[in-house]
Amino acid sequence: MYEMIKSPIELGTVTLKNRIIFAPTTMGLPREKYFEKIGKIAAGGCAMIIIGDVPAGKTSHGYSLYSKKGFAYYQELVSIAHKRGCKICAQLHQSDSDIKSMLKYIPGVLSKKISMEDLRPLLNKQVGPYISGLSQSKVKKITSSFGEAAVLAQKAGFDMVQVHGDRMCGSFSSSIFNSRTDEYGKTPENRARFAVEAVSAIRKRLPGYPIDYKLAVRQENPHYGNAGILKEELPVFIPLLEKAGVTSFHVALANHSQLSDTIPAADHPCFSEEGCFLNYCDKVRGLTKLQVCGVGGLTDPDFVEEQLKQGRIDCAAMSRQLIADPEWVEKIISGKTTEIRRCVRCNRKCLGGILKHQGVQCIYDKEEKS
């Protein structure tokens, strides 16, 4: 059973041992607890872990590939994955947050008058003016940094990189945020230029290295997502990204709206069903022959197997399910599917933990310790 899930697949020049990927996830955990959780997920049988939000440029915030400390941090993550027979991918991103505009909110955050949930829309309002006002020389410096970061990621041992198509890539792609009138704005082709230059910078520096691209798709009627690419614009973006050097696509709902939309609970008004974002994959599948990875409330082995069999997706990415049960894949391989702890998409301890500054947890954690 589950022959499709268990079958290997090639993403560019990297061979995955099965079709299950841990989706990029901001955990908000202390270093050792984070390493422990990543180790459990790697040991549980998934084929690859994507480490989210690895900065493409030099930064003093968090861990940077450019610093000695940050490089060692990522090397350790690589070692944790590889020792457990798991591939690992660095998701390269450039923040689109305007640091100067953020400063005025710090007192409110520190006094807890502004919650993380309240802060998000306030910061999103600054995105459009910020990216629309960047000079062309600054933009080109940023896109070039993706190439430099990819070289460092390869040196650190990462098997491949993913370009984060949300964040600044997604904001430049979006007609909602991008009001530029130069070669980076107005038309879909121009709005794709930032992402294309970022991918091209990697391909120029690393001719044979696999480059996954997180396609952030937004939709109207009803409206969800503010950054990213409209479904109707995918026929413009996908060929340009392929030509630039992308070797696979990771498809999800665009961000810059409510986190409860991109991480939807089981009672979400639009995204309550299993595989809630796979309809975006259907559109992408008709436009490319490259491998397509789907994500969105995936928990059920039978459902995932059927989507793979139908060719709707080539890989399935999960976050909450592998946090709920890191051994999801191993239990499938060993015929113990009845023992799987299924994510119920309650968002109480995962998304809830992030919003409360407690880090990503799970309702099953207490049960696991007892």
Contact 228, 174 (CB under 8 A): yes
Query: What is the CB neighbour count within 10 angstroms for residue 64?
Result: 21
Q: What angle do CA 147, 148, 152 make, to 5 degrees?
A: 115
Strand intervals (E) in the chain? 9-11, 14-16, 20-22, 48-55, 87-93, 160-163, 211-218, 229-230, 248-253, 291-295, 315-318
Q: What residues pair up with 229 in beta bridges, in sequence order?
A: 217
Taking the C-alpha atoms of residue 298 and residue 19, their distance in angstroms, rounded to an integer, is: 13
Q: What residues pair up with 353 in beta bridges, in sequence order?
A: none
Q: What single DSSP character describes residue 24?
A: P
Q: What residues pair up with 158 in beta bridges, in sequence order?
A: none
Strand bridging mode 14-16 / 291-295: unpaired
Active site residue 285: no
Q: What angle do CA 342, 345, 348 make, to 5 degrees?
A: 115
User: What is the residue type of 239?
Assistant: P
Taking the C-alpha atoms of residue 104 and residue 184, their distance in angstroms, rounded to an integer, is: 29
Catalytic residue among 31, 84, 120, 167: 167
Q: Which of 149, 137, 237 is nearest to 187 (CA)?
A: 237
CA distances, 15 to each of 10, 18, 85 (Å): 4, 9, 12
Cβ neighbours of residue 307 closer than 8 Å, sequence gap 6 or more: 275, 278, 294, 313, 316
Cβ neighbours of residue 48 closer than 8 Å, sequence gap 6 or more: 14, 16, 21, 22, 86, 87, 88, 89, 159
Q: Which of 137, 123, 46, 59 is nearest to 92 (CA)?
A: 59
Residues recognised as catalytic: 167
